[in-house]
Structure 1
Amino acid sequence: MSDWDYEHQKAVTALTLKQIAEEGDLDEAVEVTLDLEFLPGDGADAEACAKALTSFGYEVEVQEDGMISASIGGVPLTLDGVWTQEERATKIALTRGYTPDGWGFWEP
């Protein structure tokens, strides 16, 4: 899916991280376990998507409705840290029929 708007996605991530920083509760140097969610589209291949994400170190869970949750630890709570994982996982998911549905983390 070459028409995905990565620039918009990265801008939303930057805005979210800015809001987190403004709340002032977390040190920017903190590392988190990043949780990403992907929704299935037509022809989505859950098995292939889960296998590819797992090969890059993500812990993957496929929900009954087909949604995929992927988590990876040791991610710096910075734009570079989050975006590196978000972009990689998005590329993997898009080529297997999934679209990103956001990310989050449990506060350390």
Structure 2
Amino acid sequence: MDMLTQKSETENAFREMAAQGPVPEYADVEFQFVPEGDDADWDALTEAFEELDYEVEWYQGDDANDRWIEVIVGDCPVTFDAVWTHEERLSVLAAVHGFAPRGWTLFVDAQD
């Protein structure tokens, strides 16, 4: 896991968002993690995330390459530091259980 590259990618994403216009002050941030092999421990990772009070959902499509765990951070400040704090913590924990980061997405209430 190359955390320096991952951090740089997140910084670049924030620069791109800022260049496109104003960003919301707060949003839900959804982080996705994919299993790196058949021995990835879905249950243990879910339990570890939930013990830290994160909301967790599983997505499983029709084939083995179309599945991931998603962690939702509600009302997260939309700043690089806030998102990176969660991303780094979650990514390290995911790696322990056989998962790799897939990315993250901001979701803003349409009324905001």
Flag whether TM exceeds 0.5 (same fold): yes
1:11-41 Cα shifts (integer Å, max 9, x gaps): 00000011111111324xx111110001012
Does residue 81 (structure 1) correspond to residue 76 (structure 2)? The answer is: no
Q: Once the two structures are superposed, what CA deviation does each residue of 1:60-100 show, in whole Å capped at 9, x if it has no partner?
A: 01122541011011211111100000001101100000000
1:13-32 equivalent positions in 2, closer than 5 A: 13-27=10-24, 30-32=25-27
- Tell me the number of residue pairs that the alignment of Structure 1 and Structure 2 aligns: 103
Runs of 4+ in 1 over 3 A off after TM superposition: none
Answering whether residue 40 of structure 2 is matched by residue 39 of structure 1, we say no
- 8 Å Cα contact 1:57-1:72 kept in structure 2: no
Residue of structure 2 in register with 1:49 after alignment: 45
TM-score by length of 2: 0.85
Query: What 5-or-longer segments of structure 2 have no aligned partner?
Result: 62-66
Q: Once the 2 structures are TM-superposed, how far is the Cα of residue 52 of structure 1 from its aligned partner?
A: 0.6
33-42 vs 18-27, which deviates more?
A: 18-27
Percent identity of equivalent pairs = 31
Alpha-carbon separation, structure 1, partners of 2:33 and 2:82: 19
CA RMSD of the aligned region, Å? 1.3
